[in-house]
Structure 1
Amino acid sequence: MDMFDFIHAPLGCDDTVRDVAATLLIDTLGVAAGAADGAAGRIARDFAADHMGAGQGAPLLFDGRSCGLPGAAFAAATQIDNLDAHDGFNPTKGHIGCAVVPALFAFASLRPDLTRAEALDALIMAYEVAARAGVALHATVSDYHTSGAWNALGVAALGARLLGLSRDQTRHALGIAEYHGPRSQMMREIANPTMLHDGSGMGAMTGVMAVLMAQAGFTGAPAITIEEAPEHWDTLGTDWTITRNYIKPYPVCRWAHPAIDAMRTLRLAHDLRADDVTRIEIETFEAAAALFPGMPDTTSQAQYALPFPVATMLVHGQIGPTAIEGAALHARDVKDVLRRISVRATDHHTAHFPQKRTAALTLHLKDGRTLVSGDTEPRGGPQEVPMSLAEVEEKFRIMCAALPARRTDALWSMRSRMANSDQPLTDLTALITPPV
């Protein structure tokens, strides 16, 4: 299908695709709620309100204030990106929802008539464009860029659809978004974890700005990753990549999840406690082995770490937002386990990346036994180890722990009320606008 027809035309997807999209939407909003009191989210929202407040008022999610559309998208995407529990797509080595979901609500502030079904279709389309933009970018450059470098194009496509841009305006919006997309280096952030994370705050802002600039008459060079890489776009409308996005059960880098889940499986199967284990050997892929190796000083380091979350899983049996902040960063029991962990990258595990992320654990016990996990894939990927809807809801409620139960219930109920609904999206917006 022609790219511009796909962006603007009715979608030909079935109810299964829409159900997946609704789940990803609500899961992402749950992460936004969980991240609302985090330092990065507060700073981003204050910055947007103070310095990006001009123009139409779009809501700052879980804040109560409003600001200009680019600022609202920037703040929410930065907020979500700094609680690393949002969805992702393996072939892109990155994330889509953390940029396109905030952009949806920014643009919706200009569309009070927007229905839930229309919003969901726009979101699906944006996932499809962003996924292919990410794959195309990584296929045409040697460096590994953050998600903001390419999910900006998904944001631009979403805005072009919702604001009814012409074909020429849409082409310019995509070109502007690609040209200004933050070509930030992912492994630089991995080596020095900060609040910059995966660049999606800047990607969301850039995509929104690109739409508004094109609508105002600004021109941009054609998007190379679209117009000069057609082989990545010929399945639009037939292959729904959104159904292969994973949902993350833990708020840490996906690269650490195979080792975390291997520890979780062994812990449950053998009723292990931290004192039972004398040594832990992790074999994983090269990128995962580059994650932060020590006891983290900051939440950012905790989310881009490998031994720390594996030790946390052994000690506590779960990893929620409170496990990567505050007192958890100084927990002696976790620090004691971390000293017993070694990490090694292997060609075997590296060969699977990025299509798969695998790891294997060997645990040496006090009683002389040795437990081996074997190759483990992370939970949450529909082609790996799918999570049931009940497990997704459990994760969602952990993320929304700071919200009143009634508000959490109402948010979750929206998951089944999005598709095929001519009811206004404003019902959902009203749930995510007031402060936590």
Structure 2
Amino acid sequence: MTGSETEAQDSASGTVKVAQFARCANLSTYDEVVTETVRRRVLDTLAAITAGYRYGSGEVVRDHALDRAHDNGDVTVLDGNGRTAPPTEASLANATAANVLDIDDGHRDVKGHPAAVVVPAALAVAEETDASVAELLNAVYIGYEIAVRTGLTLHDVDGVYTGTGSWGAVGAAAAVGRLRDYDVGTMAAALGTAEYHAPRTPIMRGVEQPGMTKDGIGWGCYTGVEAAALSEREFTASGTVFDESTRFIEDLGTAHHITESYLKPYPCCRWAQPGIEAMRELVASHDITPVTVECITVKTFEEATHLQTRHPQSVEEAEYSYPYPVAVMASQGEFTESNLSPAQWDDPEVKALAESIRLTTDEEIDSRFPEECLARVIVETESQTHRSDIVKARGAVDRPLSESEFMRKIDGLLSPTLPSNTFETVNRVLNQPTSSVHDVLAPWN
């Protein structure tokens, strides 16, 4: 074999290595903390999906998916009404709903939302195949790890930051392939087809011009599920980005990206959450009267300064705003799902505070992004100036949500739609490896 042939063989091994991992990795061989993290991501995503269906884009895509389903399919659309659709349509709807409130989980390094694109695909096919809880959790873990590594590799190779759908599709395909027991060749074709057909998702445009398109999560999930189905029919692909670079897959099975992810306490872009947190701490420790505020300065990293919307006119504009949630926190001492409703957008005090907010890039904070998501807030009143420390948002690995905070979050997202004991019911089933996924989804049916 010539040197060039050897190099070609080596360069083609990345996709195969990832496909082998997707087929063989098992949570039972890792520390329990990995499995527990996967359980939490499933719970968190189920709650985000349920709440997402109470808002416009969740309803739009759900109705579209159900119209396309023509009363076919046995996969639950997780809006609490017990309706079903084929795996592809249910995945599209559920994944879109997962990101509607921007309260789904995220991963700092890849700057996106892996669970929202992977969990709905895994749930759909796990329900279709009557998989066990253990099989579901394995599929979610595999899909999550592959999604993150795909994003990191694409961003590195292409030099362009793209949204979750562009790389999450590969994780969704991996989760589906694991649940359907694909061989390595079929799995590799599914991964390659998903990456090739995934949405482009120019996310910085979405940040500056918010719309329902957001991170392209619904379409990324849909693409992954469809790519897997095509691979079963021997549809061939052209490899994956892992054939160009194996940098981020060398530690597959030894490093677990899912344990480095974060959970969100607030329904908005993660980039704004350290500023919200800093304002929360200032309001709690100082007697700040909103009417006396003259200027609020948020010092943060450069990307976050693009969240410029001050007076939102849609849910998406409220989520992709920095001034609005900080102003709400300064005025009301909280920022919750209720603040995404139109009735809140025209509050005169909030509007005045939002006008007073300046977003500036801080060199130190900017140098620490994306590994850390930080901000400092300075509030100038008529008589005093209050400065926060450099603050990290809650929900990160080194500043996790407490058990009670996590429970309150999940209950708050679920309870308007489902019974008040849903958290306890689903959490109990997710801790029973041999239980059926149908038992996990029973509250939605």
The residue aligned with 1:332 is: 348
Q: Tell me the residue number matched to 1:355.
A: 371
Tell me what 1:372 maps to. Answer: 387
Aligned partners of 2:23 and 2:183 also within 8 Å: no
1:423 partner amino acid: S
SS of the equivalent of 1:93 reads coil
Structure 1 letter corresponding to 2:221 = A
- Aligned pairs for 1:123-272 within 5 A: 123-224=140-241, 226-272=242-288
Whole-Å separation in 2 of the counterparts to 1:364 and 1:8: 57
**Contact in 2 for aligned 1:193/1:301 (Cα 8 Å):** yes
Confirm or deny that 1:17 pairs with 2:34: yes
Amino acid at match of 1:173: A
Residue number in structure 1 paired with 2:439:
427
Q: Please state if 1:346 is matched with 2:362.
A: yes
- Counterpart of 1:282? 298
CA distance in 1, matches of 2:312, 2:196: 35
2:48 to 19, 24, 31: 31
CA contact (8 A) 2:50 2:413 kept: yes
What is the deviation of 1:153? 0.7
Q: Is the 8 A contact 2:126 2:132 kept in 1?
A: no
- Structure 1 residues 380-399: aligned runs within 5 Å: 380-383=395-398, 385-399=399-413
Shift of 1:417: 3.8
* Among 104, 112, 126, the residue aligned to 1:94: 112
Residue pair 1:292, 1:301 contacting (<8 A) in 2 also: no
Counterpart of 2:134 (choices 117, 121, 124) is 117
- Conserved 8 A contact 1:97-1:127: yes
Cα distance between partner residues in 2 of 1:125 and 1:391: 27
**CA drift at 1:411:** 3.0
C-alpha separation between the residues in 2 aligned to 1:60 and 1:410?
17
Over 3 Å counting, the alpha-carbon distance change for 1:215 and 1:53 in structure 2 is farther
SS of the residue 1:219 aligns to:
coil
CA distance in 2, matches of 1:238, 1:264: 38
Q: How much has 1:408 moved relative to structure 2? A: 3.7
- 1:303 pairs with 2:319: yes
Amino acid at match of 1:123: V
1:78 matched residue in structure 2 = 96
Counterpart of 2:380 in 1: which secondary structure?
strand
Question: What is the RMSD computed on CA atoms of the aligned residues?
Answer: 1.7
Task: Name the CA distance, whole Å, in 2 between partners of 1:389 and 1:5.
Answer: 36
- Say which SS state the counterpart of residue 231 (structure 1) adopts: coil
Give the secondary structure class of the aligned counterpart of 1:189: helix
Query: Is the 8 Å Cα contact of residues 73 and 102 (structure 1) preserved in structure 2?
Result: yes
Measure how far apart 1:349 and its partner are: 2.1
Following the alignment from structure 1 to structure 2, what is the Cα–Cα distance between the partners of residues 399 and 242?
A: 22
Q: Offset at 1:192?
A: 0.8
Residue type at the aligned position of 1:269: S
Tell which deviates more after alignment, 241-250 or 374-383: 374-383
Per-residue deviation at 1:210?
0.5
TM-score by length of 1: 0.94
Structure 2 equivalent of residue 319 of structure 1: 335
Query: Are 1:53 and 1:71, in contact at CA under 8 Å, matched by a contact in 2?
Result: no
- Unpaired segments of 5 or more residues in structure 1? none
Question: What is the alpha-carbon distance in structure 1 between the residues aligned to residue 71 and residue 112 of structure 2?
Answer: 31
Which deviates further from its counterpart, 126-135 or 2-11?
A: 2-11
**Structure 1 contact 17–243 (Cα < 8 Å) conserved:** yes
Report the AA paired with residue 305 of structure 2.
A
Indicate the SS of the match to 2:42. Answer: helix
Render the CA deviation track for 1:18-43: whole Å, top value 9, x for unaligned. 11111111111111121111011110
C-alpha distance in 2 between matches for 1:165 and 1:336:
57
The count of aligned residue pairs is 427
Q: Is it true that 1:402 corresponds to 2:416 in the alignment?
A: yes
Q: CA deviation at 1:55?
A: 6.0
Contact 2:87 2:128 survives alignment (8 Å): no
Aligned to 1:6: 21
Alpha-carbon deviation of 1:276?
4.5
Q: Which shows bigger deviation, 319-328 or 200-209? A: 319-328
For residues 263-293 of structure 1, the C-alpha deviation after alignment (integer angstroms, 9 at most, x for no partner) is 0111111243423433211111111100133
Question: Cα distance, 1:329 vs. partner?
Answer: 1.5
> Residue in 2 aligned with 1:68?
86
Match of 1:61, as an amino acid?
L
User: Displacement, 1:427?
Assistant: 0.8
Shift of the 155–234 alpha-carbon distance from structure 1 to 2, 3 Å rule, reads same
SS at match of 2:377: strand
Alpha-carbon offset, residue 416 of structure 1: 4.6
1:400 Cα shift?
2.0
CA separation of 1:236/1:207 partners in 2, compared to 1, >3 Å: closer, same or farther? same
User: Quick one: structure 1 residues 354 and 83, their matched pair in 2 at CA, closer, same or farther if it must change by over 3 Å?
Assistant: same
SS in 2 for 1:22: helix
Contact residue 40 and residue 79 of structure 1 kept, 8 A: yes
Match of 2:6 in 1: none
CA deviation string 1:230-271 (max 9, x = no partner): 121011111111111100000100000011000011111124
Please tell me the residue identity of whatever aligns with 1:8. R
Q: What is the alpha-carbon distance in structure 2 between the residues aligned to residue 400 and residue 81 of structure 1?
A: 15
Out of 111, 121, 125, which is 1:103 matched to?
121
Deviation of the 1:149 alpha carbon = 0.3
Counterparts of 1:294 and 1:243, CA distance in 2: 34
